[in-house]
Structure 1
Amino acid sequence: MTGTAQHVLVLDAKQRSALAVTRSLGQIPGLKISTADSSLTSLAGSSKFSYQYFVHPAPQDEPQAFLDWMQQTIKTEQIDVLFPVTDLTSQMLLMHQDILGACLLPFASYDTLIALADKVKLTELAQTLDIRVPTSRMYKNKAEVDINDISHYPVVVKPCLSQIRTGSKWIETLVVVAHSQEELRTILERHTYLRHYAFMIQEYISGHGAGIFAIYDHGEPVAYFAHRRIRELPPEGGMSVLSESVGIAPELKRVAERLLVSATWHGVAMVEFRVDERGTPYLLEVNTRFWGSLQLAIDAGIDFPKLLWQITTGQPVTSVENYRIGQRLRWFLGDLDSLILTFKSRNDSVGQKIKHLITFVMPRFAGQRHEVNRFGDFRPAWTELKQYVSR
């Protein structure tokens, strides 16, 4: 399909990344943006850029009902392009593209996506490309593990996929760290999906996390972006609640490009690394979808949703080389939760808690924006606040 797509449906509207997509695409003249999720209210659905909001069956619990709803909605609402922003919905739709008709899905093929999204397949691919990865052992299921063979801790237990289809439902998996043999034994017993599905046990790389965000057009790079996490939820490491755009580390970009070009990647991707104390990067995983801090890249000057829409609908696309360094993004309620957890922690000193409080309340006006709270589109912030209070 070429030309302007008139009607775009953004799925997973509860996600902050879906809100960023909705706000981005909603400013393109001639586009009508609708949003959808399984809850009665959502962030993206509350945006002024959402023309209408649909409630559908929960895809993880009722996958067939969701697919039936999707097929009917595409037809009756004349949806031209779908924008799913989670692993679950994107993989489900790629597996059932026959229901889409002429509706476009801005992803690589299912086989290409799984080659990167499946952590076991990714590790094997990286090894063939001489890309450094943590020492890994692959298992088809828990029964193959001889726990006495593992002598060095901590280790990382990493399921092959973040979402696994189990007959009539989908389940979410977790990447967890075991610091001892006893912890590893407990993890293998507690997470029942490890009894039936493939996973890895990897060495734990001490150091810090790093990532490269990218968008590709059939194997050709269009733009790269990088940020650093200033504060996270939980505070010891997790999703960013305060982040800042930074320059791209040449070595990380080189590795990411080698990987994505070799896969003939198409669409967006986040390539995650662990960088040890010597500065050596280890490839960890690739997220084949939009990421949580997407709004930061848009604020810094790389509008990934717009670029992806242009690529998908055959619009002219120009590679983006530069963006603003030092642009900050704050997810206020997530930052508040991070502060609360710091004050509850027994591991942080009084001085550390006071320092966190001071940095939390200290205002910064230049070069920082709020992720959800936006003048001119304040309803998502009100929706989030009501949900936060109710919890």
Structure 2
Amino acid sequence: MTQLLIQKRVLVLGEDTRSFLSVIRSLGAAGMEVDIVTLINTTPALRSKYIKKVYKLNYQAFTQIEYSAKVTAIIEDGDYDLIVPCDERSLYPLLDIQESKKTKATFAIPDRNILGPLFDKEETRKLAVELGINVASGEHCEFNDTSSEALISKYSLPLVLKPTKSYESEQLNQRNTVLIARSISDIELFKQQNDQCLVELFFEGTGMGVSVFSWKGKVRAAFAHKRVSEPEHGGGSSYRKACPLPPDMLDACQKICIHLNYSGVAMFEFKYNSSSNEWILIEINARFWGSLPLAIFAGVDFPKILATYLLTNEKSYKLTYNLKAHARSLTSDLYDIKASFERNRTQNGTAKALSNAFPRLFGFIRLLTGNDTIDTFQWGDTRPFFSEINELIGEKIKRRFRMSKHSNNAKQYANLLAEPINEILVVCYGNIMRSPFAANLLEKKFHRQGINVVVKGAGFHQLESRPSPERCILEANKWGVDLRSHRSSWLSQSMIKSHGQLVIYFDLKHEYLLNSYYHSYRALNLAHFVPPPAGPLEEIADPYDGSPDALEQCYLNISSALDELLITLTASNSITK
């Protein structure tokens, strides 16, 4: 099988360390030349030895139109044999690109006319009922017409709130998340972010998945797993184990594949109650899924099987695998263990919390058996694993080290400020409180000293033209800054300049967003320039939900930090009068 794929070219689109990295490794090991489009710049998947070329595109720094145009150009210029998306954000734009017929590449995506049952939870539910497949009791709910109390009265707590789609095709920058609501406050918070959804009766049981490769409606490869650990409020499992294929669940998958005449991969999510021996279908993911590393580790290499069917004449079956296989997402599992410990400690005390945490931590010893793996780890391609370890531990240590050594000495910023600066771009999250005040105040300070540097502002929030809050306008007036005419701007990649520009931000969230979604910039954290005794700081905190005193302190810190920054910029000769 491997020989048939050697030197064929594939473009893989995604971001995570589970499905995305697994597809890269599978097809790279099969001899294919792998290029990627990543939705996040910092994913450990980028460290895989199998990647030939990286394209960094996303929905934070680019509009959907820009993203689609750039991906189209990559595909048209790349002479690819196969295009493989690993999530809906990557998949939806490919539908139009495929239909344009401007490339010879084969697209590993479902036909447009069957997307509904595969990605819309309401249509999945209707099809399941039509085919006699078990689903939870539930209904479509418009929140304007239904109170939280009425939902609790009908379904009791906990209940399940499901947006019909994980992503809307016209709003791919926003993920819609399923919630297991355990209180009325959970429901109210969900309603603030959603106008409607599916409401379902909570089904007590263990999460299970049946992953399949189907060809013209017939299942040719299959794998089943159980969740070993599950987040309390829903979401993906961090630790999973292989299990025998349940005949009735596999039959349900086959019914749907036959009905849709489906060709491609899919993971069918179920919930199984061992006491009653009952199960329900939860949803379908008709693209590569989070538990894919476990399937491949157990012996069912879905990406390679898919590529072989699509690009060669070889057709094979795969229904057997290592039933002892376990796999965990290291970062997610550690954070889930920590969250579970904190929750148990609050509810039951430290001793009980420790007794619950120890078995999960002790479970890591299974890695020595050869039947347990970590999603990012693979012999011969270990760099993604060590990159994940660095994200978990190394970056925190580096950040503390940087803070302990911080000073306003220009030598510390010699590399960053080596090039002359003719524009400063001040960014915060919403561009309505911190960055407009700082940009206006810095412009005034430059003007008083006769410095000719352009100052602009922007925010990561993509809803533009929002005014500053009245309390910010009043507080800014005390500093001689008028924010009444200010309207927010979104920070796009096109605003970033690789030369002559310095980006100023305020907190660690901004640092994360810049690192994750933008490129070719020079940036520094203004909080590091807050002078003693208040600073230096790690963050100038967002005063959005803060008190009047917090807003006043925020603006005081910004003003004093700008004075210190101005001294540093002048001393480094990066700005001149």
**How does the TM-score come out when normalised to structure 2?**
0.61
Q: Give 2:356's match in structure 1, choosing from 339, 348, 352.
A: 352
SS of the residue 1:36 aligns to: strand
Q: Which amino acid aligns with 2:361?
A: L
Distance in structure 2 (CA, Å) of the matches to 1:22 and 1:91: 20
Q: In the alignment, is the contact (CA less than 8 A) between 1:226 and 1:246 conserved in 2?
A: yes
Q: Which amino acid aligns with 2:167?
A: Q
CA deviations on 1:138-174 (whole Å, 9 max, x unpaired) are 14x433435565323122111110001446x542101
Q: Give 2:107's match in structure 1, choosing from 72, 81, 105.
A: 105
Q: Give 2:376's match in structure 1, choosing from 351, 366, 372.
A: 372
Superposition map of 1:204-223 within 5 A: 204-223=202-221
Q: In the alignment, is the contact (CA less than 8 A) between 2:137 and 2:200 conserved in 1?
A: yes
Higher RCO (Cα < 8 Å, 6 or more apart): 1
Larger radius of gyration: 2
Q: Which amino acid aligns with 1:266?
A: S
Distance in structure 2 (CA, Å) of the matches to 1:302 and 1:163: 28
Cα–Cα, structure 1 residues 121 and 295, in superposed 2: closer, same or farther, change >3 Å? same
Q: Give 2:180's match in structure 1, choosing from 177, 181, 184.
A: 177
SS of the residue 2:67 aligns to: helix
Q: CA deviation at 1:237?
A: 5.8
SS of the residue 2:369 aligns to: coil
Structure 1 position 116 matched with structure 2 position 118: yes
Cα–Cα, structure 1 residues 228 and 322, in superposed 2: closer, same or farther, change >3 Å? same
Q: CA deviation at 1:357?
A: 3.2
Distance in structure 1 (CA, Å) of the matches to 2:367 and 2:30: 32
CA deviations on 1:232-289 (whole Å, 9 max, x unpaired) are 4x47864333322110111111122112221212211111112234111111111111
Q: CA deviation at 1:342?
A: 3.2
Q: In the alignment, is the contact (CA less than 8 A) between 2:110 and 2:286 conserved in 1?
A: no
CA deviations on 1:160-211 (whole Å, 9 max, x unpaired) are 10001446x54210111234556434422x21xx22xx52111111122222
Higher mean C-alpha deviation, range 130-139 or range 341-350: 341-350
Structure 1 position 24 matched with structure 2 position 26: yes
Superposition map of 1:115-134 within 5 A: 115-134=117-136
Superposition map of 1:70-219 within 5 A: 70-99=71-100, 101-139=103-141, 141-145=142-146, 147=148, 149-150=150-151, 151=153, 152-154=155-157, 155-166=159-170, 170-181=173-184, 183-188=186-191, 190-191=192-193, 194-195=194-195, 198-219=196-217
Q: Which amino acid aligns with 1:122?
A: T
Unaligned runs of 5+ in 1: none
Q: Give 2:260's match in structure 1, choosing from 259, 263, 274.
A: 263
Q: In the alignment, is the contact (CA less than 8 A) between 1:60 and 1:88 conserved in 2?
A: no
Aligned to 1:45: 46
Cα–Cα, structure 1 residues 157 and 336, in superposed 2: closer, same or farther, change >3 Å? closer
Distance in structure 2 (CA, Å) of the matches to 1:353 and 1:212: 29
Q: Which amino acid aligns with 1:256?
A: C
Q: Which amino acid aligns with 2:296?
A: I
Distance in structure 2 (CA, Å) of the matches to 1:269 and 1:60: 30
Q: Which amino acid aligns with 2:39?
A: S
Aligned to 1:14: 16
CA deviations on 1:55-80 (whole Å, 9 max, x unpaired) are 12437952111111111111222222
Larger strand fraction of residues = 1
Aligned to 1:299: 297
Distance in structure 1 (CA, Å) of the matches to 2:381 and 2:203: 42
**How does the TM-score come out when normalised to structure 1?**
0.88
SS of the residue 2:237 aligns to: strand
SS of the residue 1:33 aligns to: strand
Cα–Cα, structure 1 residues 53 and 122, in superposed 2: closer, same or farther, change >3 Å? same
Cα–Cα, structure 1 residues 171 and 95, in superposed 2: closer, same or farther, change >3 Å? farther
CA deviations on 1:12-69 (whole Å, 9 max, x unpaired) are 143421111111111223x211122133343332111111212124379521111111
Aligned to 2:494: none
Q: In the alignment, is the contact (CA less than 8 A) between 1:60 and 1:170 conserved in 2?
A: no
Cα–Cα, structure 1 residues 357 and 180, in superposed 2: closer, same or farther, change >3 Å? closer
The total of aligned residue pairs comes to 380
Distance in structure 2 (CA, Å) of the matches to 1:268 and 1:46: 26
Larger helix fraction of residues = 2
Distance in structure 2 (CA, Å) of the matches to 1:124 and 1:73: 38
Q: In the alignment, is the contact (CA less than 8 A) between 1:153 and 1:180 conserved in 2?
A: no
CA deviations on 1:77-133 (whole Å, 9 max, x unpaired) are 222211110122112312443356322211220221222210111111111112121
Aligned to 1:340: 338
SS of the residue 2:129 aligns to: helix
SS of the residue 2:368 aligns to: coil
Q: In the alignment, is the contact (CA less than 8 A) between 1:156 and 1:203 conserved in 2?
A: yes
Distance in structure 2 (CA, Å) of the matches to 1:60 and 1:215: 35
Cα–Cα, structure 1 residues 170 and 330, in superposed 2: closer, same or farther, change >3 Å? closer
Higher mean C-alpha deviation, range 109-118 or range 97-106: 97-106
Q: Give 1:278's match in structure 2, choosing from 251, 276, 279.
A: 276
Distance in structure 2 (CA, Å) of the matches to 1:98 and 1:261: 24
Cα–Cα, structure 1 residues 10 and 358, in superposed 2: closer, same or farther, change >3 Å? same
Distance in structure 2 (CA, Å) of the matches to 1:312 and 1:295: 21
Q: In the alignment, is the contact (CA less than 8 A) between 1:35 and 1:44 conserved in 2?
A: no
Structure 1 position 249 matched with structure 2 position 249: no
Higher mean C-alpha deviation, range 380-389 or range 272-281: 380-389
Higher mean C-alpha deviation, range 213-222 or range 171-180: 171-180
Distance in structure 1 (CA, Å) of the matches to 2:202 and 2:365: 35
Cα–Cα, structure 1 residues 170 and 103, in superposed 2: closer, same or farther, change >3 Å? same
Distance in structure 2 (CA, Å) of the matches to 1:371 and 1:146: 42
